[in-house]
Amino acid sequence: QKEVEQNSGPLSVPEGAIASLNCTYSDRGSQSFFWYRQYSGKSPELIMSIYSNGDKEDGRFTAQLNKASQYVSLLIRDSQPSDSATYLCAPDIGGAQKLVFGQGTRLTINP
Amino acid sequence: GAGVSQSPRYKVAKRGQDVALRCDPISGHVSLFWYQQALGQGPEFLTYFQNEAQLDKSGLPSDRFFAERPEGSVSTLKIQRTQQEDSAVYLCASSPGGGQPQHFGDGTRLSIL
């Protein structure tokens, strides 16, 4: 089993709809969870961080964490073409600061 | 500076040459990380510093890879006797520590011919 698994892409969503990105992780000791957005040829950009179970909302983005299920998700409401990118899920490793990244989910928002 | 700065942005080297990649973290960030990203994959952890101390180097692929941060600020990742499989984007990130988010530089794209 991979340490971090993300829903396979590419994922295509019409403009204005909700995009749902999912991630499962294997390390029960993980304490911090991050979602990064990466445009082609660019470096990862932090979108959301979440540390406790439940939902965390920031503008059009909502992160959801369920530590018992080892599951974290990212919802993007009112999707825009500028949201088209690869989204990377990154929990820390065993509560340490280093991150382990999933392979990423490529999201395309269709106008 | 305002963000993490990496140089050079692009580096082309012949197999067998040594290369040095530089990272200047966000001012005041105690933690500094190096990652390697292959095309189409997520970044993979290489090594981590807290101030000048290298706390984890478990991700370095071989003893040809060496990183340092002598004064707790700028860091250099050195690769000796480069091989074609070293071709990748090398990303540097910094954070204030304590589980706070990491912020990435633009990366160095390394190509080994």
Contact A25, A70 (CB under 8 A): yes
The whole-number pLDDT of residue B1 equals 52
Q: Which residues contact A77 (CB under 8 A, 6 or more apart)?
A: A18, A60, A61, A62
pLDDT single digits (tens) B32-65 = 999 999 998 999 999 999 999 999 999 999 999 9
What span, in angstroms and rounded, lies between the C-alpha atoms of A54 and B59?
32
Segment-wise mean pLDDT, segments of 10 residues, chain A, 111 residues: 84 97 94 95 95 96 97 98 97 85 95 91
Between residues 21 and 50 of chain B, which touch chain A (CB distance below 8 Å)?
Answer: 31, 33, 35, 40-45, 48
Q: Which chain B residues are Cβ-neighbours of A103 within 8 angstroms?
A: 40-42
Q: Over 80: is that where the pLDDT of B9 sits? A: yes
Tokens standing for B55?
């706390």
Q: Do B56 and A98 touch (CB under 8 A)?
A: yes
Q: Do A90 and B48 touch (CB under 8 A)?
A: no
Is A16 exposed, middle or buried, given 0-12, 13-18 or 19+ CB atoms closer than 10 A?
A: exposed
Contact A104, A88 (CB under 8 A): yes
pLDDT single digits (tens) A89-100 = 999 987 678 899
Choose among A32, A43, A102: nearest Cβ to B99. Answer: A32
The whole-number pLDDT of residue A17 equals 98
The whole-number pLDDT of residue A7 equals 86
